[in-house]
């Protein structure tokens, strides 16, 4: 009798174990995509700072000017190019006046099925205008993200205000170290440095760039 009870108990334990293992496997297969630091960098490749860069040297390219102004864009959608089969949505709004910058940015990346892969939100930390009166380069620090370890890291991008339907922008590179953002603020990466296919022209969105040196007072459409 004891032997029969032992067999029955063993069978029950075995099947319970199988159910537990199966349920764990199901849970594992339904988890969100791996967004570890290494994986996220495949989505947003780093941009290397030149080896001779000296922080604080302010050796900006001659065609840029450190004036006041503002820049904004809302729900810019980018597809293809450096993004592969995925898409990116980006928005930002910032003002630089009397040496003080204020503003925020946000960027989201989706896979080919429209599923969110990664996002980042943060504060704009630098904005520099080009003498062509239409181009701005910007940096920001991440305050919120679904990528582990990215809070406190930085984002950089370049945008052109060429008129509705003609505007252009790089993708927003984020998860970067402070030295990369400092270089972009002080000297500025070229558009080519963002990589092939990372500059999107004729986008179906509206980027607005307003430099005081070009258009006068900072106040107006977005200035305060």
Both 4 and 112 in a single domain? no
Give whichever of 45-49, 58-62, 93-97, 109-113 has the largest mean pLDDT. 93-97
User: Residue 194: is its pLDDT beyond 70?
Assistant: yes
Q: Is residue 224 part of a domain?
A: no
Place of tokens 């860069």: 53
Domain membership flag for residue 221 = no
Burial class (CB in 10 A: 0-12, 13-18, 19+), 69: buried
Q: Are residues 159 and 198 in the same domain?
A: yes
Answer yes or no: do 84 and 19 share one domain: no
Residue 147 belongs to some domain of the structure: yes
Same domain, yes or no: 22 and 98:
no
Please tell me the distance from the alpha carbon of residue 107 to that of residue 43, in angstroms, as a whole number.
13
Q: What is the pLDDT of residues 26-37, one digit of tens each?
A: 333 334 445 455
Q: Are 174 and 65 found together in one domain?
A: yes
CB contact at 8 A, 150 and 175? yes
* Domain contains 99: yes
DSSP 110-142: E-TTS-EEEEEEEEEEEEEEETTSSEEEEEEEE
Same structural domain, 77 and 11: no
pLDDT tens track for 144-190: 999 999 999 999 999 999 988 899 999 999 999 999 999 999 899 99
Could you tell me if residue 223 is inside a domain? no
Whether 69 and 175 share a structural domain? yes
Q: Considering the domain boundaries, does residue 220 fall inside one?
A: no
Tell me how many domains the chain contains: 2
Name the 3-class secondary structure at 22: helix
Q: Is 182 inside any structural domain?
A: yes
13 and 123: one domain? no
Same domain, 27 and 42: no
Same domain, 99 and 195: yes
113 and 175 in a single domain? The answer is yes
**43 domain-assigned:** yes
Residues 150 and 208 grouped into a single domain = yes
pTM reported for the whole predicted model: 0.80
Q: Token pair for residue 192?
A: 């080519």
Distance separating alpha carbons of residues 188 and 8, to the nearest angstrom: 73
- Domain, as residue range, for 2: 1-31
Sign of the CA dihedral 66, 152, 144, 202? Answer: positive
CA angle 204, 206, 209 (to 5 degrees): 140
26-85 confidence digits (pLDDT tens): 333 334 445 455 555 456 777 888 888 877 766 656 667 778 999 999 999 999 888 888
């Amino acid at each position: 009798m004891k032997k029969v009870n032992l067999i029955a108990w063993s069978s029950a334990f075995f099947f319970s174990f199988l159910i537990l293992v199966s349920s764990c496997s199901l849970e594992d297969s339904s988890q969100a995509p791996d967004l570890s630091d290494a994986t996220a960098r495949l989505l947003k490749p780093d941009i290397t700072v030149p080896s001779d860069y000296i922080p604080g040297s302010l050796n900006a390219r001659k065609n840029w000017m450190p004036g006041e102004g503002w820049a904004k864009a809302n729900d810019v959608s980018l597809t293809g190019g450096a993004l592969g089969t995925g898409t990116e949505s980006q928005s930002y709004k910032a003002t630089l006046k009397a040496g003080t910058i204020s503003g925020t940015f946000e960027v989201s990346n989706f896979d080919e099925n429209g599923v969110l892969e990664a996002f980042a939100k943060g504060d704009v930390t630098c904005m520099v205008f080009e003498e062509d009166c239409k181009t701005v380069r910007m940096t920001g620090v991440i305050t919120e993200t679904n990528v582990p370890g990215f809070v406190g890291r930085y984002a950089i991008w370049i945008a052109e205000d060429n008129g509705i339907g003609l505007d252009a922008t790089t993708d927003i590179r984020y998860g970067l170290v402070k030295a990369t953002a400092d270089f972009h603020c002080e000297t500025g990466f070229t558009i080519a440095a963002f990589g092939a296919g990372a500059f999107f022209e004729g986008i179906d969105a509206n980027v607005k760039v307003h430099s005081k040196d070009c258009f006068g007072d900072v106040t107006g459409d977005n200035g305060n």
